[in-house]
Amino acid sequence: MSTEVRDNSQLGRFEAWMDGEFAGYADYAREEGRVVYPHTEVRVGYEGRGVGGALATAAMEDAERRGLRVVASCPFIAGWLTKHPEYQHLEETTP
């Protein structure tokens, strides 16, 4: 099964599609110099199949491409970042 992640900028979210079926999303709000990720949701039946990780990876790669700092207010994204040090340099830290 393949997972495709699309940026739905009209709704302000990344959407995951697994074999043509909507599997979940990660909301975002892009601001000057940063992007906030407040919520991620994986639909019932798609948990444990890598959908959340695919969403988080796409979100971090997008932030890096755009040169944005990341505010991970979503517990899933924040937890995912602790397990993926290759993206931790993107996190916005408070002074």
Retrieve residue 10's tokens: 């009209």
**Residue 94, pLDDT score:** 57
Q: Assign residue 10 a region (left: φ > 0; alpha: ψ between -120 and 50; beta: otherwise).
A: alpha
The rounded average pLDDT for each run of 10 residues, N- to C-terminus, in the chain (95 residues) is 92 96 97 96 95 97 97 95 95 72
- Note whether 54 and 5 are within 8 A (CB): yes
What percent of the chain stands above pLDDT 90?
94
What span, in angstroms and rounded, lies between the C-alpha atoms of 68 and 33? 5
Q: What local confidence, expressed as pLDDT, does residue 26 receive?
A: 98
Q: What is the pLDDT of residues 68-81, one digit of tens each?
A: 999 999 999 999 99
| Contacts of 50 by beta carbon, 8 Å cutoff, 6+ apart | 3
Q: What's the predicted TM-score (pTM) here?
A: 0.93
